[in-house]
């Protein structure tokens, strides 16, 4: 089952007092079987207008934030069927990255078809399930409440076990010196 989080957005009224501008349950922005992206919020490089509420969760889904922007999202990963062929797995990941406008961010797919690289620093919390973080030269298993500081490096995620994994990610556009 795909998670549908409740999101509360604050702002200010005409007198400058803090108020709740939005309080709603969000549907997934993208679903591919048990794989889902739920875009909670995003910012760009414009000044923030706290008085006027503009829905920021239903824009076009892209893996990376806009230049000088941020994103916060839930993403749910399904377990991979043990009987899936290499070709079927590549086809799944190819479609998944195309769906989130990120085909150009795929890297080192011979290591894992989900390998990708973004120009962002990402703070990722595993909320439910178990996953393996796959890097070019390392791998590590993660348990609930483990936090990954993903600093613009090539990586992929793989579910451990038979249950989907739920992660929360904050992505911040970043330029790197190397």
pLDDT 10s digits, 76-110: 999 988 899 999 999 999 999 999 889 999 999 99
Q: Residue 96 and residue 119: Cα distance in Å, rounded?
A: 19
1 inside domain: no
Q: Which domain holds residue 150?
A: 18-173
Residue 31 within any structural domain of the chain: yes
The tokens of 37 are what?
A: 């992206």
Burial of 44 (0-12, 13-18, 19+ CB in 10 A): middle
Report if residue 12 sits inside a domain: no
The pLDDT confidence band at residue 177, using thresholds 50, 70 and 90, is confident
What is the phi/psi pair of residue 5, to 5°? -75, 150
Residue linked to tokens 């829905």: 55
Q: Do strands 6-12 and 18-25 pair parallel, antiparallel, or not at all (unpaired)?
A: antiparallel
pTM of full prediction above 0.75? yes
Beta bridge partners of 128: 166
The share of the chain scoring above pLDDT 70, in percent, equals 98
The count of structural domains within the chain is 1
Residue 4 domain-assigned? no
CATH code: domain of residue 42: 2.60.120.10
């Amino acid at each position: 089952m795909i998670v549908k989080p409740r999101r509360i957005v604050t702002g200010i009224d005409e007198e400058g007092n803090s108020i709740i501008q939005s309080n709603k349950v969000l549907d997934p922005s993208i679903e591919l079987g048990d794989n889902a992206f739920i875009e909670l919020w995003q910012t760009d490089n414009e000044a923030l207008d706290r008085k006027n509420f503009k829905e920021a969760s239903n824009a076009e889904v892209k893996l990376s934030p806009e230049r000088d922007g941020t994103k916060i999202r839930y993403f749910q990963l399904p377990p991979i069927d043990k009987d899936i062929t290499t070709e079927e797995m590549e086809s799944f990941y190819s479609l998944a990255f195309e769906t989130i406008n990120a085909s150009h961010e795929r890297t080192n797919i011979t290591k894992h078809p989900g390998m990708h690289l973004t120009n962002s620093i990402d703070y990722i919390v595993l909320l439910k399930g178990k996953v393996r973080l796959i890097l070019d030269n390392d791998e590590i298993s993660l348990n609930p409440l483990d936090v990954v500081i993903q600093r613009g490096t090539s990586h992929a995620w793989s579910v451990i076990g038979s249950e989907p994994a739920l992660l929360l990610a904050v992505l911040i556009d970043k330029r790197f010196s190397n």
